[in-house]
Amino acid sequence: MRRLTIQYRDLGKMPYQKAWDLQERLLKANVDLKIAAGRSTKAGEVDTQSYLLFCEHPHVYTLGKSGKVEHLLLDDASIAKKGISFFKINRGGDITYHGPGQITGYPIFDLEKLKPDLGWYLRTLEEVMIGLLAEYGLKGDRIKGATGVWLGINTHNPRKICAFGVRCSRWISMHGFALNVNTDLSYFNHIIPCGINDKGVTSLQVELGRAIDVKEVKEGLKRHFVLQFGLEYEGMERSSTV
């Protein structure tokens, strides 16, 4: 696996549509480069640019292309009254919630420069979160057939702390993960999160019993992306930490 140099951008608080549009532009620019290079160019040798985008959205529900609209438990009038946006989008997965206090991350990675394998990519994203949670004394786990990172999987109360949903075009990824940090979990009561109705959701704040410094979590995520994907951030010394 090669080292991938990326640009990191903290987009701050950003409406969902604006972040989605940005992802689409960055993905298209990379896909266009691959098309222009032609199929005779060796995999991973096109001069694409990869990114790691972090942001925080206003209240929004997003429904993936394989999701069921009936997993949204509110009608249009109720959604509008609560000030929540709703988007049907082109990632995999079912319905989820994004909102304040949650870190939403969008890796725009050229997987041909890493490993062109979506299963590997999702498992590695999960490993980033598992490593981060360990820094807070929490044991993150996987549940077979339920992509995401969970706590308490062998208890009466398994609960998801990080959800994933991705799209890939010519091995350029978009969409990504949603990590609950100080998230208002009551918004999950109006959906069947990821189409799973027999398990709960949680956050770092709930698990640790205190508000968490979001900037601190972002720095931890950046470190674990380096560790798991072998990344270099643009301008970063090879021997330095992020």
Per the CB < 8 A criterion, the answer to whether 54 and 105 are in contact is yes
pLDDT at 236 over 70: no
Residue 142 lies in a domain: yes
Residue 242 lies in a domain: no
With cut-offs at 50, 70 and 90, classify the pLDDT of residue 93.
Answer: confident
The helices-and-strands tally (H runs, E runs) of the chain is 5, 12
Using only C-alpha atoms, the chain has a radius of gyration, in whole angstroms, of 18
Among 6-10, 41-45, 143-147, 157-161, which stretch is predicted with the lowest mean pLDDT? 41-45
**Is the alpha carbon torsion for 75, 81, 84, 87 positive or negative?**
positive
Instruction: Return the ∠ at Cα 91 (arms to 218 and 28), rounded to 5°.
Output: 85
pLDDT (average), residues 43-72: 93
With cut-offs at 50, 70 and 90, classify the pLDDT of residue 92.
Answer: confident
Q: What is the mean pLDDT of the chain?
A: 92
Residue 118 lies in a domain: yes
Q: How many CB atoms lie within 10 A of CB 155?
A: 8
| DSSP assigned state of 72 | B
pLDDT at 241 over 70: no
pLDDT at 198 over 90: no
Q: How many domains does the chain have?
A: 1
Q: Which two tokens stand for residue 44?
A: 């991973």
> 202: which residues sit within 8 A by CB, 6+ positions away?
151, 159, 160, 161, 180, 185
**Per residue, what are the HEC states of 90-115?**
CCCCCEEEECCCEEEEEEECEHHHCC
Per the CB < 8 A criterion, the answer to whether 103 and 181 are in contact is yes
pLDDT at 83: 95
**Is the alpha carbon torsion for 11, 217, 64, 90 positive or negative?**
positive
55 is catalytic: no
Domain that holds residue 63: 4-233
Residue 238 lies in a domain: no
pLDDT at 2: 64
Residue 78 lies in a domain: yes
**The tokens 């009466």 sit on which residue?**
156
pLDDT at 159 over 70: yes
Residue 240 lies in a domain: no
Residue 67 lies in a domain: yes
- The pTM score is 0.93
How far is C-alpha 182 from the geometric centre of its chain's CA atoms?
A: 16
| Catalytic choice (55, 162, 168, 194) | 194
Report the alpha-carbon distance of residue 127 to residue 228 in Å, rounded.
7
pLDDT at 167 over 60: yes
Q: Which one, of 24, 213, 183, lies nearest residue 106 by Cα?
A: 24
**The tokens 């027999």 sit on which residue?**
198
CATH of the domain at 172: 3.30.930.10
